Structure 1
């Protein structure tokens, strides 16, 4: 099942600070995307992104920023899908069940190695509420900080904008669109594991990411 973005009005239970933060976020997004999309589209994406996190976020004051980051990613994806902007960089989407461990480690390695030469996103079929602490610790041992990431769903435009979709155990819930390159990485789910058990999974992911970058002919940062 793919999570569709539908028009959402701003929730009536928002605090004044949250409303102001969302309005400020909308202004920033409109400035960045005004040449591609109308105000209504931009605000719809921002508000529906907010709804994706509203019922499971542990820090409500962080929600508007979270929504802005996700909306920005989705608008970039939509711009690519609609042919309004395409920088030619390979785009990879990493998907797992909770978007809290495997896909986040893959995203961390990919972004670290590829830098600005390629684009990577991640998502989950049943997004969790936080990144797996053992995954954060294991990646920190490699000098990569994924603590600022957050579990999120995928949306139609994000999947359609990806050149390669890497799935990790989300099974039938993983979205399928014609024309995408799909690859299943069979990896143990690190949920509930300690750092010691997560290390072999992390190392396997690193190896696979390096191989993927080589296949995409993306130069790897040391």
Structure 2
């Protein structure tokens, strides 16, 4: 059994940015990274425009659903990436925290969401290069 690095993406509704980031990391890292996403106030569903934007690049978010942020999810993650959830995310010593300032895709059309999607990909690629490899 290997020890994989784990990343938690958090935004308020877990319907746009954090779902897209989790989709990118899962797509780019495969099973080498444990990926989680959550929200402090989860929406009813993933933003349909975010689903379409990700489908355009071959990533299917249609089956995903927003999840509530839990202390356990933060504790189980090595890296916690917040995207506009402010002080809601619990902080634990020894965790790496980053706050990504990204436009919120909520209420935006596809032309506005594509650049957000692409910026998230670039940030996820950079993050992936900084994660330690899984250990046997």
TM-score (norm 1): 0.58
How many residue pairs get aligned? The number is 134
Name structure 2 gaps, 5 residues minimum. none
Confirm or deny: 8 A CA contact 2:47 2:106 kept in the other structure: yes
Name structure 1 gaps, 5 residues minimum. 1-85
Q: Which has the higher strand share?
A: 2
Confirm or deny: 8 A CA contact 1:114 1:218 kept in the other structure: no
Deviation at residue 179 of structure 1 after TM alignment = 1.4
Q: Which has the higher helix share?
A: 1
Structure 2 counterparts to residues 204-219 of structure 1, below 5 A = 204-217=119-132
Q: Which residue of 2 aligns with 1:154?
A: 69
Q: Which residue of 1 aligns with 2:4?
A: 89
Confirm or deny: 8 A CA contact 1:96 1:168 kept in the other structure: yes
Confirm or deny: 8 A CA contact 2:8 2:79 kept in the other structure: yes
Q: List structure 1 segments (4+ residues) > 2 angstroms apart after TM superposition.
A: none
1:181 aligns with 2:96: yes
Could you tell me how far apart the structure 2 residues matched to 1:134 and 1:186 are? 20
Structure with larger RCO (C-alpha < 8 A, sep 6+): 2
Q: Output one character per residue of 1:104-156: Cα deviation in whole Å (capped at 9) or x when no partner.
A: 00000000111111110000011000000110000001000011100011211
Q: Which of 83, 96, 100 is the equivalent residue of 1:168?
A: 83
Confirm or deny: 8 A CA contact 2:16 2:47 kept in the other structure: yes
Q: Which residue of 2 aligns with 1:142?
A: 57
Larger radius of gyration: 1
